[in-house]
Copies of this chain bind each other. A is one copy, B any other.
Amino acid sequence: MNQQIKNHLETLNSLLDEIKRYSHCYALMSYDRETVCPVNAQENEGDTLQFLSAKVFAITNSDEYIACVKYLHDHIDELETIDQRLVTLLYRSYLDEINITPEIDAERNKIYTESYIAWIKAKNKDDYSLFAPNLKKIIAISDKIISLRQEKSSVPYDNYIGHFEYGMTSERLDNFFESLKNRIVLLLKKIKKSDVKIRTDFLTRKISIEKQEKFSKYLLDLIGFDFDCGLLGTTEHPFTSEIGYKDVRITTHYYEDLFLSNVFSVIHEVGHAIFGQSELKEYYDHHISNSMSMGMHESVSRFYENRIGRSKAFIHLIYPKFHEMFEEFADVSEEEFYAGINVVTPSLIRTEADELTYSLHILIRYELEKAIVEKKVTVEDLPNEWNRLYTEYLGVTPTSDKVGILQDVHWTSGFGYFPTYAMGNAYNSMYFLKMNKEFDVMKAVEDGNIAKVTSWMKKNVFKKASLLDPDDWIKDIVGKTLDPEPYLDYLEEKYSEIYKL
């Protein structure tokens, strides 16, 4: 590496070091805001967050920074692998953001913030018309930002999905969701006709929050959450936040009469957390940490939540403890419990959906997002379309906006995120097959040896996630790109057994 490249790399790294510190503050304050921040202090925290954003914006839009990124991109072949990755990622952002002026940036942030507030109000009042004007603004600013990109696709939706899952296209997604739709809708029809009656009376039994908290901690320990590098907080909407190096915090919610909502939200978030807690120090040092795609991240969280958490083996593992802690479930057998947590009930709310119908909720959002960005549906018509698709694919019809189009927060900051949830399911079924060839995964889970599973995940799934684009990453693990069939095979096998199809 010649001296000039070294100098540029050094300058770039010192600017990124600065960004890292601002981002650390930003992440912690955002976490505070969503967890414990007093209501009257929210505004001041908002102002400080904006200050921090502006600091980062000033660096990434400085001549010095841009010159470094461009120079290093021109000499990318002369860099080490990890710096090649860094420069690739920065150059992509540069192309996306270079024409965004501070004014447009401020406008975008303002629209997002106002839309979020409007969405909360609209949801509380169960009135889509209070959110519709904001959604129009979101669409307009999204169009504008994409139009300003240095490089863009002529297929509108590709610009959205590619932002979250590099290399993914509408064409590939159409095929992907077509497979999902065909086999899941068919499977759902068979299940509806099944004579098997699954006991569900216990699913809504009251469990004190204190007990749920204790059980959460038990699950975190069991699965391998590292409390020295993270913690568990409480919020209405569970999330995982990578605050900084060795600091990955998760949250959950507790509903007295929806105990399982807590259990599976915890297992889901612990999946995200283990992924984050396993991130290599050298990735932090080289500023590429946590640059894995959303599809990768969801593949891991859903792996822990569904492939492990909702498996017979896992239920067998936790049942003794479960019985010991909850006299409320004394009359429920292990088999009844396993069937109960896997009961298929087409419903209106995505976040409470069962494992099978979950992908249909995503499919609906995918179709609507495409229709929005292709201007094939108006903002006014969206609720009707939403309800029509729920009726068609799930056989249930929303009775109001709150349990329909207003249920998710995602559209308050644009489009393209939802499909990553469904991709995650497909990815993890692909690598589950590979793992299961190397050792009996369910046997390890049943034996309580989840460390063995996580160890495999670290070596095969986590290690290169921040280093590779999604297609290269999944090819590196299993030798091929996104394929829904292993996931659909798994669903078919699992539910055929439960429902005796």
> In the assembled complex, how far is the CB of residue A311 from the closest CB belonging to chain B, in whole angstroms?
29
Q: Would you call the interface of chain A mostly helix, strand, loop, or mixed?
A: helix
Kindly supply a per-residue 1/0 record for chain A positions 24-53, scoring 1 wherever the CB is within 8 Å of any chain B CB and 0 otherwise. Answer: 110011001000111111011101100110
The docked-state distance in angstroms from the alpha carbon of A39 to that of B227 is 8
A230 with B38: CB separation less than 8 A:
yes
Residues 421-439 of A, flagged 1 when their CB comes within 8 A of B and 0 if not, give: 0000000000000000000
Asked if A375 CB lies within 8 Å of chain B CBs, one says no
Instruction: Check A40 against B244 for contact (C-beta < 8 Å).
Output: no
Among B25, B41, B247, the residue within 8 A (CB) of A243 is B41
- Residue A21 at the chain B interface, CB threshold 8 Å: yes
Pair B244/A38 contact, Cβ less than 8 Å: no
Q: Is A246 positioned at the interface, with any CB of B under 8 Å from its CB?
A: yes
**Interface positions of A from 364 to 379, Cβ below 8 Å from B:** none
Mask of A223-235 contacts with B, CB within 8 angstroms, 1/0? 0001111110000
Residues 252 to 293 of chain A near chain B (Cβ within 8 Å)? none
CB distance from A208 to the nearest CB of B (A): 12
- A329 on the interface (CB 8 Å rule)? no
This chain: how many copies in the complex? 2
Tell me if A57 counts as interface (CB < 8 A to partner B). no
In the complex the two chains form, what is the Cα distance from A245 to B36 in whole Å? Answer: 16
In Å, the complex CA distance between A24 and B29 comes to 10
Chain A interfacial residues counted at CB < 8 A:
31
Closest to A227 in B: B38
Is A244 a contact partner of B21 (Cβ separation < 8 A)?
no
When the two chains form their complex, are residues B45 and A244 in contact, meaning their CB atoms are under 8 A apart?
yes
A35 to chain B, nearest CB (A): 10
Residue in contact with A244 in the complex, picked from B36, B41, B245, B247, CB distance below 8 Å: B41
What's the nearest-Cβ distance from chain B to residue A286, in Å? 16
CB-based contact B246/A44 at 8 Å: yes
On chain B, the residues within 8 Å of A229 by CB distance are: 38, 40-41
Chain B residues, Cβ within 8 Å of A36: 231
A48 contacts B25, C-beta separation under 8 Å:
yes
Given contacts A38-B229, A38-B231, contact A44 B24 (CB under 8 A): yes
With known contacts A229-B38, A229-B41, A231-B36, A244–B48 Cβ distance under 8 A: yes
Can you offer 14 A-B residue contacts whose CB atoms are under 8 A? A24-B48, A25-B28, A25-B48, A28-B29, A28-B32, A32-B32, A38-B227, A38-B228, A38-B247, A40-B228, A40-B229, A43-B246, A44-B245, A45-B244
Shortest Cβ-Cβ A-B pairs, 10 listed: A41-B247, A40-B246, A25-B25, A21-B51, A40-B228, A24-B48, A44-B245, A40-B229, A41-B246, A44-B244
| Besides the known contacts A25-B29, A41-B247, A48-B244, 11 further A-B residue pairs in the complex with CB atoms under 8 A apart | A18-B51, A21-B48, A24-B44, A25-B25, A37-B247, A38-B231, A40-B229, A40-B247, A41-B243, A41-B246, A44-B246
